[in-house]
Structures are given as structure tokens and as C-alpha cells.
Amino acid sequence: MSSFVTTLYPSVDLIDPVVFEEINNEGNIYFSQSFLKAFEVSNPQIEFKYISISDSKKRIAALVLLQVISLNVEGMLKNIKVGPLLRKGLGLLFCNEHIKIMFCGNVFLSGEHGIITADNNSQKEVYYEIGRAIDAVAANIKPMHAIFIKDFKLASLNYTRQFLTFGYSEIKVEPNMIIKLKPEWKSFEDYKDVLKSKYRIKANKADSVSSTLETRLFSNQDFVTYKHELQALYQNTIDKASFNAQVLNLNTYGCLSTSIKNDFIVKGYFLENRLVGFLTALVNDNKLDAHFIGLDYELNKSHAIYPRILNDYVRIGIEKQVSSINLGRTASEIKTTIGANPLNLSCYIKHKNPFFNMLIRPFLKRIKIKEFKQHSPFK
């Protein structure tokens, strides 16, 4: 019999603040009550659930974020490299139309934002208990087609592979693209000085071509004023993404700008007083995480909106004196031209029906992420 005790919460508001104080004593913003609440209240189409796990000494051992979402299989796989037969097979196994998936993690973010654990117990034991708890929650949700646990770095796999015990398959997903910043870079000019000539010219061109754009940091009022424009520009990028599980309601960021303030950044790009692009970023644990962007792709070539956004992420990272910038998934090759390297990620997935779960294993092994050219821009 397990010595752990699990508690399920249907809302972040019902979790005792002591749980967050105990499990998140290093102040990880992604596991703060205010951060989780911003996503919960702004995205009512998602069913949010939270699991706390306590050990025999009543110490909090883990906090787990779950999101139950209805989505379309074809949309989810549209830019993942699979053959037509494999794509059709997955569609048939998952009933083709809208399916219900329970995600462990934040479906809007890439990275380890679904599970936080304390160091007071064996990590393998804790992750085994997490696997048991997730299965118990899934058993009481009907209909439920699949469970998806995301996104783990190589260093985490030693204990996350406990999930394999519960019938999950491990799959590779698109990597996060990471730029490591040098402490001696005090300005964007310092950064450009260490670029090879070819890449320095590209960075300068992006700034030059985009020089007609006016930029400004968004206030809370700006979120209200440009609400519809922000959502439309964001939708443009979502339509090009490789993995579309859900569309974020950007009211989420309005909430975050109020609760997190200095650590949350939104920058708008204007052409003749019209919003044509934006970036969002969050400072957490001495790192800058690029969140969602949006842009008018019809103006991208003539005004270099996206290359300028990438340059500005580097500028913000240097200004905030962080150790690294996580540029997230997608557009991997262009991100390598400004110095990003891939951080490989793995996920775990299983169909709730044991028979179908056995059938999809061969399909899952054949899923491949898009390949890209890795540039080496530094001298």
C-alpha cells in the first residue's frame, strides 16, 4: 500500500496557499497561485485540475497540473512529419473528430511546467505515485481518449520513465531553442561583436528593414485597447504552429501583467499607428522565456517583423541580465542563426483504452519531428 496521500482540486483557488509555500519555496512563477489562476480564469473552455501529493510525514512531495481539453487530431498533427497512412491510422484510432485528452503540463507552454516536486523523497517513488494519481483522475473522466504528459528534458528521464510502467509510450517532440548569454554582454552591440560577419549582417539588416516600426511596452490599458488585434495576430502564428492543442485567450496575459508586473513583458510593434506584431516574455529563475508572439505575415518580408522580434528577445535578455533565453518551439532554423541551440524534449502518451493503446505503439514510434539546419553564428 502506498505511503503517499493524493488530493485532487478542481480549482487553484481551493488549494491551500501553504501547499505553494512548501512545494515552491524557490519562487518558480509557473507554479505560483497567481500564474495558474490567470490561465484558469481566462480559458473556461479548459477543465483545470490539480493534484497535491503528500508523504507519510504529511510533507508536500509534488504538485501536478492537469488540463482536460477537446481537440482535433488532424490539427494536432498537421505539421508533424508522418506519412499519409500513419496519419490516417492515428485518425481512425482516435476517432478522427474531436477527442478529449488530459494533459499533464501547461498546454500553452513548452517545458517542464506541469509537475513540481520536493527533494524530501525518492524522485522515482514520487513520479510513480504521480503516474498512479493521473490514472485515477483519468478513470473518472468520461469520455476520455488519451493522456499526454509533457515536456521533459534528458536529465529528467531517469525518473519520468516511471510512467512507462503505466502503459505510456515515450515520444520526442520539437525542442526548445535556447540562447545562452555571456555575462560580458552588456548591450546588443556586445552580442553582435561576437557574431560571424554573415550573421552580424543579418542582425543589422533585421533592425534596418524594421526601422519604420514603432515599438512600445504594453500597459494594462493597452491590453484592453488592442485586445482584438492581439488575438488576431496571435492566431496568425498559431495557424503555422506544428502542434496546435488549444488557442490561448490573451486575456490571460492581461491578468499576468497585473499580477506579475515587472517579470512579464509585452512589446507591441506598430506601423502607421496600426499594431502589426507583438512579443511576450517572462523572467523566471534568471532565465527569459519567450512566450507567444503574433504578427502580420503579409508585412513580415517588407518590414522584417519576425527577425526584429528575435533581435529584441536578445536585447531584453541582455537588459534583464539573465543567463539564457528560451525561444520555445517552431522556426528552429532561424533561431539558430541568432545563437540558439536545441534542448531536446520527451513526452509520454497513452490511449485510455488498453487495446487501442497497444495498437498505437507502433505508430507512435514512427513519428518524427521536423529536421532543421543548425547554424553556428558565433566566432
**Helix residue ranges, H only, 268-304:** 300-303
Determine the longest span between alpha carbons in the chain, in angstroms.
67
Q: Are residues 149 and 209 in the same domain?
A: no
Q: For residue 296, what are the domain limits?
A: 178-342
Tell me the three state secondary structure of residue 214: strand
Run of H or E residues at 350 = strand 341-351
- Give this prediction's pTM: 0.91
Give residue for cell 491510422. 89
184 half-sphere exposure, CB direction, 13 A CA radius? 4
Q: Are residues 113 and 258 in the same domain?
A: no
Q: Are residues 184 and 316 in the same domain?
A: yes
The per-residue pLDDT for 86 is 57
In eight-state DSSP terms, residue 123 is: H
Q: CA-to-CA distance for 13 and 67, rounded, in angstroms?
A: 15
Q: What are phi and psi of 46, to 5 degrees?
A: -105, 140
The set of cell numbers assigned to 244 is 496546435
Q: Are residues 138 and 68 in the same domain?
A: yes
Q: Are residues 239 and 291 in the same domain?
A: yes
Run of H or E residues at 174 = strand 169-180
The per-residue pLDDT for 332 is 93
Q: In Å, how far are 47, 116, 138, 235 from 31, measured between CA atoms? A: 18, 8, 22, 26
Q: In Å, how far are 113, 324, 341, 349 from 151, measured between CA atoms? A: 8, 19, 17, 11
Does residue 36 come out as left (phi exceeding 0), alpha (psi in the -120 to 50 range) or beta? Answer: alpha
In a domain, 373, yes or no: no
Among 271, 186, 261, 289, residue whose Cα is nearest residue 280: 289
Q: Are residues 164 and 285 in the same domain?
A: no
Q: Are residues 229 and 114 in the same domain?
A: no
Q: CA-to-CA distance for 97 and 84, rounded, in angstroms?
A: 17
Among 146, 97, 104, residue whose Cα is nearest residue 352: 146
**Helix residue ranges, H only, 140-292:** 157-160, 188-193, 197-209, 220-225, 227-238, 251-259
Q: CA-to-CA distance for 173 and 170, rounded, in angstroms?
A: 10
Q: What angle, rounded to 10 degrees, do the helices at 251-259 and 33-42 form?
A: 160
Q: What is the domain-level CATH number for residue 69?
A: 3.40.630.30
Q: How many domains does the chain have?
A: 2
Q: Are residues 182 and 320 in the same domain?
A: yes
Q: How do the pLDDT tens digits run along the chain, 379 residues long? A: 678 999 999 999 999 999 999 999 888 999 999 999 999 999 999 999 999 999 999 999 999 999 999 876 665 555 455 556 555 555 555 555 678 999 999 999 999 999 999 998 999 999 999 999 999 999 999 888 999 999 999 999 999 999 999 999 999 999 999 999 999 999 999 999 999 999 999 999 999 999 999 999 998 889 889 999 999 999 998 887 655 666 788 888 888 888 887 789 999 999 999 999 999 999 999 999 999 999 999 999 999 999 999 999 999 999 999 999 999 988 899 999 999 999 999 999 999 999 989 988 988 888 888 889 999 999 9
The set of cell numbers assigned to 27 is 519562487
The per-residue pLDDT for 79 is 46
In a domain, 371, yes or no: no
Q: What are phi and psi of 338, to 5 degrees?
A: -110, 10
Q: Are residues 62 and 112 in the same domain?
A: yes
The per-residue pLDDT for 314 is 98
Among 156, 176, 168, residue whose Cα is nearest residue 243: 176
3 half-sphere exposure, CB direction, 13 A CA radius? 11
Q: Are residues 169 and 99 in the same domain?
A: yes
Q: Are residues 40 and 150 in the same domain?
A: yes
The per-residue pLDDT for 260 is 81
Q: CA-to-CA distance for 10 and 17, rounded, in angstroms?
A: 15
Q: Are residues 211 and 329 in the same domain?
A: yes
